[in-house]
Amino acid sequence: MHQLTQSRFMSAARRKRLPSAFPVIDGVLHPIQNHVFELNLRNSLVCQERYLKYKAQAKKGGGENATLRHTQRNKKLLVRDRLRRLLDDEDYLELAPFAGLGLPYGDIPSAGCLTGIGKINGLWCVFIANDATVKGGTAYPITVKKQLRAQDVAMQNRLPCVYLVDSGGAFLPLQSEIFPDKNQGGRTFYNEAVMSALKIPQVAIVCGSCTAGGAYIPTMAEETVMVHRIGTIFLGGPPLVKAATGEEVSPEDLGGARLHAEVSGCVDHFAAVEQDAYESARNIISTLNFELPEEDEGEAGGVEEPLHSPDDLLGLAPKSYHHSLDAKLILSRLTDGSKFQEFKARYGTTLLTGFGKIEGQLVGIVASNGELTYEASLKGSHFVQLCDQRDIPLVFLQNTAPEPGPTLSAHKAEAHTNRLKAQGSMMSAVACASVPKITVVIGGCHGADSYAMCGRAFDPNFLFLWPNARVSLVAPGCSQALVPEEEEATQLNRRLEEESCAFFSSGRLWDDGVILPQDTRKVLSSCLKIIKQQDYQISKEKQRTPLLRF
């Protein structure tokens, strides 16, 4: 059986996609579009400034004093230096870097924990790395949410997962928002067990404290490395022991690397210094049963770049829905050779559907190009099912129209009912399509249209926002129809304006991050490669139980 799987895989690695001669899309900007393009560009440059400001803020972690305490007093590496040593020397995809910024309980840089996907010895792995400069790496509600999302990404895409644990456990003042509910603290450990049973490998590196809940992460991972002198694992630290028994004990004697590697057996590998721990983890990853293809298909065939500069996307990213330009202008800056094999070009034209390649990888593209009408929804539904049948990943470019005004005539009511039915059908098709889905919100994300266009609730493998994106039930400026009282409507609009901002959304982890429009092709390409890696795992059948360490 095993040999069969392997030979099937070997032949798959040598397979080639069918040649294609998709037509080139007309991506030329016309003078009549210049005015809107300029307005969008100005808005995008302001958004980009904001993006860079938040990026710098997140990078500072817990600030200067905490950084000094971490590096000078505690003699630990900073989280980004740790990742540099763990991961291959190439770019990695960070997930939700702005999570934690602008929350009611303050700014929690990177939500106190970096997550993302990077290569280790050529294999894409999810990493979940506490940043102990942020309140000792303690878990805020947003930290828990971010860890759970990273585990979700690992599960949905069958990616090995590496935990870099350096955490004081729960942030106690917010315990009621961390401990009791289903998708809170305990879910991390539940997921670890389920992932292990699903044969999704998990490795932990103890490079700081693992106190209380933090202690279960390394003890439930399949293989754990622990660093001498800086790593500790215990449920209650020395102060608790002293209070309970009067005994004075050092952290090292209570739960240091030597104790856990030699006596308790809680860890499997002892690292004398931090650097050794990352080497050790890299070697563990090399023991995983994956066989990667010699070369990526795209690299082998030579990738065609789009015919137009991706920088133009800054002027195509709509400042508001009314500043949207033809979605084909955007596609022509994303697909290989600006080529697109359109499906149903003359029907339901407010939705673009068709096939294109992103760095050699074939995808079905569903792009908003106006209101999601009855015809557009039927077409979307048809196309999504087509891609599902052919096993082709879907990319949604979402820019939903503001909610329509109230229905005033019988004729309109009938049209709305039909639209409702067709949208329901598209939602079903999207929800049930078993192919990978990636959503990029390039403009609006409002109301029911956003569900049909694979919003967060529809579980895309990844969802990113452009910095100009707006996420809210009702688009800002459109609340008058719903709230007749003028003052109330004005207040509501102000709120919608503030709460629909892409950074507000990303701070709360309603997405996997804000990406710059000009980086979209690269991000999409990485995501597609990441998703595809699961085809190269040799054995994936679910076990009945997770790996039990004892």
Residues that bind ligand COA (CB under 6 A): 69, 74, 135-136, 138, 168-172, 209, 211-212, 237
| Beta-carbon count within 10 A of 448 CB | 17
Strand partners, 103: 106
Nearer to ligand COA, 138 or 324 (CB): 138
Nearer residue to ligand COA within complex by CB, 138 or 280: 138
Question: In whole angstroms, how close is the CB of 269 to ligand COA at the nearest point?
Answer: 22
CB of 106 to ligand COA, least distance (A): 11
User: Parallel, antiparallel, or unpaired: how do β-strands 394-398 and 361-368 relate?
Assistant: parallel
Minimal distance, residue 177 CB to ligand COA, in Å: 13
State phi, psi for 245 to the nearest 5 degrees: -120, -10
Residue with Cβ nearer ligand COA (186 or 404): 186
Closest to ligand COA by CB, 106 or 265: 106
Beta bridge partners of 224: 204
Least separation in angstroms between residue 214's CB and ligand COA is: 8
Q: How far is the CB of 80 from ligand COA (least distance, A)?
A: 18
Shortest CB 66 distance to ligand COA, Å: 6
Contact 365, 353 (CB under 8 A): yes
CB of residue 68 vs ligand COA: minimum separation in angstroms? 11
Residue ranges of the alpha helices (H) in 391-446?
Answer: 410-432
Cα–Cα distance between 293 and 537 in angstroms, integer?
A: 11
Q: Is 483 left (phi over 0), alpha (psi -120 to 50) or beta?
A: beta
Q: Are 249 and 241 in contact (CB under 8 A)?
A: yes
Q: How far apart are CA 486 and CA 157, in angstroms?
A: 48
Q: What is the smallest separation between the CB atom of 169 and ligand COA, expressed in angstroms?
A: 3
Question: Which residue lies nearer to ligand COA by CB, 110 or 209?
Answer: 209
Min dist. Cβ of residue 209 to ligand COA (A): 4
In the numeric block, which tokens belong to residue 412?
A: 């309109």
Q: Cβ closer to ligand COA: 240 or 482?
A: 240
In angstroms, what CA-CA distances link 534 with 26, 54, 160, 193, 530? Answer: 36, 33, 10, 19, 8
Tokens of 505: 């959304």
Helix ranges (DSSP H) in 61-212: 64-68, 79-86, 141-156, 185-197
Smaller CB distance to ligand COA: residue 212 or 363? 212
Give the E-state strand segments of 412-550 in sequence order.
Answer: 437-441, 444-445, 462-465, 470-471
Dist CA 44 CA 313 (whole Å): 9
Beta carbons of 76 and 148 less than 8 angstroms apart: no
Q: Please say which residue, 27 or 168, places its beta carbon nearer to ligand COA.
A: 168
* Nearest to 87, CA basis, from 177, 160, 14: 160
Instruction: Please report how close the Cβ of residue 280 comes to ligand COA at its closest, in angstroms.
Output: 23
Cα–Cα distance, 91 to 131 (Å, whole number) = 20
How far CA 506 is from CA of 103, 333, 467, in Å, comes to 11, 25, 10
CB of 140 to ligand COA, least distance (A): 9
Cα–Cα distance between 169 and 252 in angstroms, integer?
18
- In this structure, what are the phi and psi dihedrals at residue 37, rounded to the nearest 5 degrees? -55, -45
Residue 398: strand pairing partners:
441
User: Which of residues 141 and 513 has its CB atom nearest to ligand COA in the complex?
Assistant: 141
Min. distance of Cβ 160 from ligand COA in angstroms?
27
Cβ count within 10 A of residue 285: 20
Q: Which is nearer to ligand COA, 77 or 453 (CB)?
A: 77
Q: In the complex with ligand COA, which residue's Cβ is closer, 106 or 405? A: 106
CB of 279 to ligand COA, least distance (A): 25
Rounded to whole angstroms, how far apart are CA atoms 516 and 466? Answer: 6
Residue number, nearest CB to ligand COA: 168
Q: What is the per-residue burial (b if ≥16 Cβ within 10 Å, else e) of 156-180? A: bbbbbbbbbbbbbbbbeebeebbee
Specify the residue, 212 or 365, whose C-beta has the smaller distance to ligand COA.
212
Q: Copy the structure tokens of residue 521.
A: 């092709």
Which CB, 67 or 341, lies closer to ligand COA? 67
